[in-house]
Amino acid sequence: MAEREIGIAVVGAGRAGMIHAVNFRKNVPRARLVAVVDPVPEARESALAALEINKAYGDYRDALGDRDIDALVVVVPTALHRGIVCDAASAGKHVLCEKPMAMSEEECRDMISAAESAGTKLQIGFMRRFDAGFRKAKEAVESGAVGDVVMVRSNTRGPSVPQPWMYDISKSNGPLAEVNSHDIDTLRWFTGGEFRTVYAVGGNYRCPDAKDDWPDFYDNVIMSATFDNGMQGIIDGAQGVGYGYDARTEVLGTKGCVFIGRLNDESVVTCTADGNTGSYPIVRSWRQLFEPAYLAEDISFTECVLEGREPEVTGRDGLMAVRVVNAGNKSIVEKRIVEL
């Protein structure tokens, strides 16, 4: 007797959407990629050719009536998440929703409530929790290898400038959402606590085109935090850094420190006689760095649907990150510590 499998539709055929689509097309056991959804005809046609499937929709609502589809992977701009997730739940479809979960806590609650009412699964795409290095570090921290956790520091810096629509913070929630949601979740995961206070400072250093029309936009941010269990946190985020994709974390304890992540793309270092300098290739893309983590995340989502268990990353995890994003943005604007 054949094993039960689930049919998947990926909503959004952009860069991250295609990572998920390729995984479900080729690499996730007990899952079958049924369709892609994208409003842009060229994107649909390109995805169909690359994935070698024959079903695509221009509107996600049409996919909800497809009986071959059991679950949606939502990879579209954040402002669209609530509507798609709630409609999917009402149609009895499970959802893996990319981060950031939504624009506001209210939208997050609507999404959680819709899934609970329908009895469907809702997983949020914090794929770093599925990265082998992060999981190994989590095990080390929980074993007491560095003593009691004192502080967690995490940074994400991307090489490219943001897309123009992201300049409007009312539509994107800014880099704290688009870039640092992963760092926020990382701090929650390693401290085991909830953010109590945040103080954030932002500035626009690399995006001159945004300064006139979007004076509140920032491409560089630092945020300090305290937690309800007494621990401390630091986050820094940047867009347009140019030198590569830089995602690293430190967990400082009373007896040591765990370092997670790397900037070098391989272990080979080249040294030359002229100046006796060394160099190594730099990680250029998050797709390159976290490719195995995306696959592990997609496998975990499939298993939680088939086995009827809770996702490893829940809607509450997504909500709490959105809460911190909004508090951080408020801190930047009001230039003060914000209590959560």
Cβ-count burial 166-193 (b if 16+ within 10 Å, e if not): bbebeebbbbbbbbbbbbbbbbbbbbeb
Percent of the chain at pLDDT > 90 equals 89
Does domain 129-290+320-339 fall into CATH 3.30.360.10? Answer: yes
How large is the average pLDDT for residues 188-194? 98
6-126+292-311 and 129-290+320-339: same fold? no
Give me the pLDDT at residue 285, please.
82
Confidence of residue 279 (pLDDT cuts 50, 70, 90): low
Give me the pLDDT at residue 264, please.
77
pLDDT one-digit tens code per residue, 280-316 = 677 878 777 899 999 999 999 999 999 999 999 999 9
Give me the pLDDT at residue 275, please.
58
* Average pLDDT value over all residues in the chain: 94
CB 239 within 8 A of CB 175: yes
Domain boundaries, the chain: 6-126+292-311, 129-290+320-339
Confidence of residue 189 (pLDDT cuts 50, 70, 90): very high
On the question of pLDDT at 6 being above 70, the answer is yes
Domain 6-126+292-311, CATH class in plain words: alpha beta
Give the burial class of 217: count Cβ atoms within 10 A of its Cβ; 0-12 exposed, 13-18 middle, 19 or more buried. buried
Structure tokens belonging to residue 227? 């937690």
pTM of the predicted structure, to 2 decimals:
0.94
